[in-house]
Amino acid sequence: MINVHTAWADWSRTARPFANFRRENLQALTYKAEFDLDHQADYIDALVEAWAEKNPNWDVPVRAKLELQDLQLIDASLSHLDPSVANVRELREYIAKTRRLLEALAE
CA distance 97 to 17: 12
Boundaries of domain holding 67: 4-106
By the 10 Å C-beta count (0-12 exposed, 13-18 middle, 19+ buried), 50 is classed as middle
pTM for the model: 0.94
59 close to 47: Cβ distance less than 8 angstroms: no
pLDDT for 83 equals 84
Q: Confidence class of residue 8 from pLDDT cuts 50, 70 and 90? A: very high
Average pLDDT of span 20-34: 96
Number of other residues whose CB lies within 10 A of the CB of residue 60: 18
CA distance 105 to 78: 24
pLDDT for 2 equals 81
